[in-house]
Structure 1
């Protein structure tokens, strides 16, 4: 508990988490307001459409998570941390836990905030949360944000430089996973198992066939796993990457 309290104070006494949280909420809720404002009788606002901007908020949250660790390496405060807490694994796990919990909270606030603003703008729209798909499409955002933050912290530990870690995360999520589909013969098969594509399946997969067309919301995933196994796969990827990062951090100089 002491380590968690220390990491919480370190995180909330810097400006970047606050700015990133505000930006993530503004982007996701802003897109929901835009979708609701441009809805029509022919194309009404739907539960999935309210979460159209969750991917943009995810990128901001991952930047926040990477900065939480890379700034310690940049200003060499990580050395003081490791001197005070010789158990590097415990120190880094505490930081990862605090950052992941914050990311999950931001995800939940962003998701329900997006749904709420759409409800206010289009009060007559059918935005009741009834089906398992609709609950995953909103409440599931927090879980995806949380595990994505674990991945971002792990990349930050491995790279140690803010610009490098952020570049790796953003290029991978927004570009490389899609470019892999261009590889002849095996590209699409590989893409089905890439982590963020699989995480997207948890949010968008297995829609209620009686509901509106899911194409009005975030794009569909081509992952072969069903939603809950997809979340477990994404979580497993995050844990494996974290274990690798902890192993490297314990073997090299701070």
Structure 2
């Protein structure tokens, strides 16, 4: 895995700063944890806990493989960009990766798919936040959606770097709140008079939603990769930080 990438990385063993490693770890968690985890119990009900753990373990192995493969691709792409032209080169992005490795028709489909994916994802978060806020505040969501989009989009565009430590802190709070909710739900479930059932033939039922609940981190890895020192040590630590984020999300989903 480290062959071509480490050759393209800077010489030496400059480590990844702890602050950056923590940032990559929590951003990975924030990217993965979303609506998928909330939908898992609906599908889990059809097969039971045991079959779900088996299918979800395959999802963990697949996502770990995707993370390691993406790190390798980013290193190869950076090495190729550095030797293709003179002058400073930008870090690899999803668009540049498509331009380097895909034929023109497939490249167009990939870029279009990426745009649709990110736009639909952002729309989902906007609607979810607006609905949740309006239910707590007792107001119409149509009044909240537009100001929410304008204010927070402007804040992210203008104060991107200043907000990054806040995103890390809020992600940590989000994980703590999720763990608390897992405990509360577990306590309530222990008081409910329901006999759990297991159906191995239905073990494929939660597979799709499981991949959604554990996927998505590869979309932000090019952005995170841009922040790290290009040494073999830092790249290994970056890969470990993202992989650890995937593993923590897997454990949180299992507990949930």
- The question of a shared fold, defined as TM-score above 0.5 by the shorter chain, is answered with no
Greater radius of gyration (CA) = 2
Normalization by structure 2: what TM-score? Answer: 0.32
TM-score, normalisation: structure 1: 0.32
